Structure 1
Amino acid sequence: MAILVDPPAWPAYGRLWSHLVSDTSLAELHAFAAAHGVSRRLFEGDHYDVPEEAYDALVAAGAAPVTSREVVRALHAAGLRLRKRKGERPVERVVGLDLGDGVPRDVDLLLSDWEPPAERTYAASVLLRDAAGRCAVVWSTRRRVWGPPAGRTEPGEDAVATAVREVAEETGVRLARADLHLLGHEVFRPAPAPGRDLLAFLTATVPGSPALSGSDDETSDHAWVTPAELERRCAGEFWWPLVGHVLALGPWARP
């Protein structure tokens, strides 16, 4: 088990950057990064981008200096290599998630305005905010957890149509398609439904602070909560890194 870092050679934002990786697990990588002051906001799905001025300190802390080619080989050998499309920002990878059907799945959480194809989209989730910056949460009677309005697509729907319908059913808030903006998506392996492996992650802000009320039997309570309260209720959920990153909460807080 080792933490590896390549030389700072990748230019961006007026400086050079290195890649910090584990040859074993993301848990090991996150623990090392947190212990040595590397912000979680620098995580890119299978590695941390670290600025050139941090390189010597990371090596002194135990990261093994290797070439960039060795970094890529180590990720492939460990099964941690993440391929992404242009414009996607990986936030986290969840390994062995059980959605309640007994099938372990790996999930990549990605920020992006890339519109997921309707034929691959099986569900949508909405970070709904009011004019004061509070977030809507609903209580799932099936899963017995708090979370943002969300649900599976119905025949003929794309991600935005699903989001409009689910928000109306679970909170009573009526949105137009133009109110919604794509923030990213969750990619599941294996797919939760035949040929459908994507959950779209969207956001919308409504004027004022309308009363919340649901019309379906899958939710039983609804509330506007501050980002801090949202974190208290939901930080243990697998999807939380996407919301935490967007709202700059916890380890994703901006310096």
Structure 2
Amino acid sequence: MTLLVDPPRWPAYGRLWSHLVSDTSLEELHAFAAGLGIPRRGFEGDHYDVPEERFADVVAAGAQVSDIRGVVDALRHSGLRMAKRKGDRGVARVRGVGFPDGTSADVDLFTSARPYAEPRVFAAMVFLTDVAGDHALVYSPRRAEWGAPGGWREGSESVRRNAVREVHEETGLSLDEPSLLACGYERFAPLGPWRPGSGSDVLQVFRAEVTRRRPRLRPHPGDATTAHEWVSWEEFGERCAHLFWWPLAEAVFDPPTWGHA
């Protein structure tokens, strides 16, 4: 197992930065970074951004110095490289996520202010907050878990229309499509049985805010969710921190000050 770091040559936020990677294991990478006090918010999906003033510490702790080509090659050869669009931020790769139908997939989580191309998107989810910053959650008996409102696209509807419809069906709240702000996405691999051969492998995530304090949630009769509540950020974590997508919620609502895109 080898940890590699390139010299600090990448400018952002008035500093120079390095990229710290493992050629074998993200678990090894996280453990190494934690041992040096490098915060998890510096993780970019397949590497840590390390500020120039910590470069010597990283090398002294055992990381080998490499040029950027060696760093990228190590990620590619290990299979740990997280392909992403320019400007997107990798948050986490979650292995072997299981679903109620018995299937499973690896899921890459990203923050991004740019919506994904619609042909790739099979579903949408909305982090819905009120004016005080509380979160709307719904309970799905099929998945036996709490989560943000959302669901699969129907027919030829747009992704935004998909998100607006799901929020209305599950909470009774009406949103305007322009009020939805893209904040991230979940990318599934391998392709799941939900769209065989279609190439649809992305769940689009939006943020939206209602202009009142905890308006009453009134889902449509017959909606599959069975409970609906406004909760604080702390309560949101208590109910959902064990779920595979939780690192994305943390990244959206606690933006990093360490690291760069």
Same fold (TM over 0.5): yes
Moved >3 Å (runs of 4+): 100-104, 252-255
- Aligned equivalent of 1:245, options 236, 243, 251: 251
Answer whether contact 1:139 1:222 (CA < 8 A) is retained.
Answer: yes
Q: Which residue of 2 aligns with 1:49?
A: 49
Answer whether contact 2:17 2:51 (CA < 8 A) is retained.
Answer: yes
Q: Which residue of 1 aligns with 2:190?
A: 190
Offset at residue 35 of structure 1 (A): 2.4
Answer whether contact 2:140 2:225 (CA < 8 A) is retained.
Answer: yes
- What SS does the aligned partner of 1:201 have? strand
Amino acid at match of 1:221: A
Q: Which residue of 1 aligns with 2:27?
A: 27
Amino acid at match of 1:149: P
Once the two structures are superposed, residues 25-70 of structure 1 have per-residue CA deviations (whole angstroms, 9 ceiling, x without a partner) of: 2122122222221122221111011101011111222222233222
Root mean square deviation, CA, Å = 1.7
Query: What runs of 5+ residues in structure 2 fail to find an aligned partner?
Result: none
- What SS does the aligned partner of 1:219 have? coil
Q: Which residue of 2 aligns with 1:58?
A: 58
Q: Which residue of 2 aligns with 1:219?
A: 225
1:210 aligns with 2:215: yes
Answer whether contact 2:120 2:201 (CA < 8 A) is retained.
Answer: yes
Task: Measure, in 1, the Cα distance between the counterparts of 2:173 and 2:31.
Answer: 41
Query: What runs of 5+ residues in structure 1 fail to find an aligned partner?
Result: none
* Equivalent runs, 1:76-95 vs 2, <5 Å: 76-95=76-95
* Aligned residues between the structures: 252
Offset at residue 92 of structure 1 (A): 1.2
- What SS does the aligned partner of 1:24 have? coil
Task: Measure, in 2, the Cα distance between the counterparts of 1:172 and 1:163.
Answer: 13
- What SS does the aligned partner of 1:154 have? coil
- What SS does the aligned partner of 2:226 have? strand
- What SS does the aligned partner of 1:106 have? strand
Answer whether contact 1:227 1:247 (CA < 8 A) is retained.
Answer: no
- What SS does the aligned partner of 1:199 have? strand
Task: Measure, in 1, the Cα distance between the counterparts of 2:231 and 2:141.
Answer: 19
Is 63-72 or 24-33 further displaced after alignment? Answer: 63-72
Task: Measure, in 2, the Cα distance between the counterparts of 1:76 and 1:212.
Answer: 47
Is 221-230 or 58-67 further displaced after alignment? Answer: 58-67
Task: Measure, in 2, the Cα distance between the counterparts of 1:187 and 1:140.
Answer: 21
Task: Measure, in 1, the Cα distance between the counterparts of 2:157 and 2:37.
Answer: 44
TM-score scaled to structure 1, two decimals? 0.93
Task: Measure, in 1, the Cα distance between the counterparts of 2:129 and 2:33.
Answer: 32
What percent of counterpart residues are identical? 51
1:17 aligns with 2:17: yes
Q: Which residue of 2 aligns with 1:200?
A: 204
Task: Measure, in 2, the Cα distance between the counterparts of 1:71 and 1:85.
Answer: 19
Offset at residue 16 of structure 1 (A): 1.3
1:36 aligns with 2:36: yes
TM-score scaled to structure 2, two decimals? 0.91
Task: Measure, in 2, the Cα distance between the counterparts of 1:181 and 1:11.
Answer: 28
- What SS does the aligned partner of 1:163 have? helix
Task: Measure, in 2, the Cα distance between the counterparts of 1:35 and 1:212.
Answer: 45
- What SS does the aligned partner of 1:187 have? strand
Task: Measure, in 2, the Cα distance between the counterparts of 1:125 and 1:138.
Answer: 12
Amino acid at match of 2:203: L
Answer whether contact 1:172 1:214 (CA < 8 A) is retained.
Answer: yes
Is 3-12 or 94-103 further displaced after alignment? Answer: 94-103
Offset at residue 151 of structure 1 (A): 0.5
Answer whether contact 1:26 1:46 (CA < 8 A) is retained.
Answer: yes
Task: Measure, in 2, the Cα distance between the counterparts of 1:104 and 1:168.
Answer: 29
* Equivalent runs, 1:146-185 vs 2, <5 Å: 146-185=146-185
Offset at residue 134 of structure 1 (A): 0.1
Amino acid at match of 1:204: A
